[in-house]
Chain A
Amino acid sequence: ETGVTQTPRHLVMGMTNKKSLKCEQHLGHNAMYWYKQSAKKPLELMFVYSLEERVENNSVPSRFSPECPNSSHLFLHLHTLQPEDSALYLCASSQDATDTQYFGPGTRLTVL
C-alpha cells in the first residue's frame, strides 16, 4: 500500500544527533498526524495539522519539532533526544477531523 509512506523505516541515533522523520500522503487528505507508540502502551497523539496549520500540540517536549510544508508532507525534526524517546513513530492522515485515519508503516526509532 502506498497511501501513506514514511522514511526512514528504522533509525538509530545518539542523544546529540539531529535527524528528521518524513511522512508523505498520496490520498488528497487535509489532516495529518504524528503518533508515538511505546511498547505495551496505547498510541499517543503528538501533533495534528489541518490544512498545514497546527491544531493540536499534545504537550510534547520541544526536542520534537513538527513541520508541515504542504498538505501532503509532514516532518518530525528530532534533536537531543533521550533513550526513553525510543518508540515507533506513526504518521497518519484523514480527509477531515472526524474521518477515518490511515497510518503509514512507521519509523522505529532507537535512541542510544
Chain B
Amino acid sequence: RKEVEQDPGPFNVPEGATVAFNCTYSNSASQSFFWYRQDCRKEPKLLMSVYSSGNEDGRFTAQLNRASQYISLLIRDSKLSDSATYLCVVNDDYKLSFGAGTTVTVRA
C-alpha cells in the first residue's frame, strides 16, 4: 500500500466552479500535513498547511480527518491560474511522503 494516495485526475472544470479532491495516508501516527502546488516543470510550492480543525485560505479550504486518515482540498471560484498539480504531503519527523498529485485544469 502506498504511503500517500491521491486520485490523479485530471479534474477539468470551468472557471468559477468548485473542485474538491482527497488524499489518503497509511501511517496513523503522521504528524503534519500539507498541500503543495506544482506547476509544469517547476518546483513544488507550499499552498497551505492542514490543521486538525480544518482551515481556509481565501478560496482554498483544507480538511483533515484523522479517524479515516484522509485530507481534502476544496477550491472555490476556480481561476485559470489554479491549473496545476496539487500534491498531498504527509510529514513524519524528517520524512515527507508525497502523493503522486492530482491534476486540475481550469478552462475558460
Contact = CB atoms under 8 A, between A and B. Distances in A.
Interface of A: 31, 33, 40-43, 45, 48, 50, 55-56, 88, 90, 97-98, 100-106, 108
Interface stretch (B9-17, B62-70, B72-80, B93-101): B93-101
B45 interface: yes
Contact of B42 (A33, A50, A102, A105): A105
Contacts of B45: 103
Given A42-B99, A42-B100, A98-B32, A50 B94 contact: yes
A29 to B, nearest CB: 13
Interface string B30-61: 01101000000111111001000000000000
Contacts, number: 49
Contacts of A102: 46
Contacts of B41: 88, 108
Given A42-B4, A90-B43, A100 B49 contact: yes
A45 B42 CA distance: 17
Contacts of A97: 93-94
Given A41-B100, A98-B32, A55 B46 contact: no
29 contacts: A33-B96, A40-B100, A41-B100, A42-B4, A42-B87, A42-B97, A42-B101, A43-B96, A43-B98, A45-B95, A45-B97, A48-B94, A55-B94, A56-B94, A88-B41, A90-B43, A97-B93, A98-B31, A98-B91, A100-B34, A101-B46, A101-B96, A103-B43, A103-B44, A103-B45, A104-B43, A106-B42, A106-B43, A108-B41
Interface string B80-108: 00000001000101111111110000000
Nearest to B45: A103
A88 B38 CA distance: 13
Nearest to B88: A42
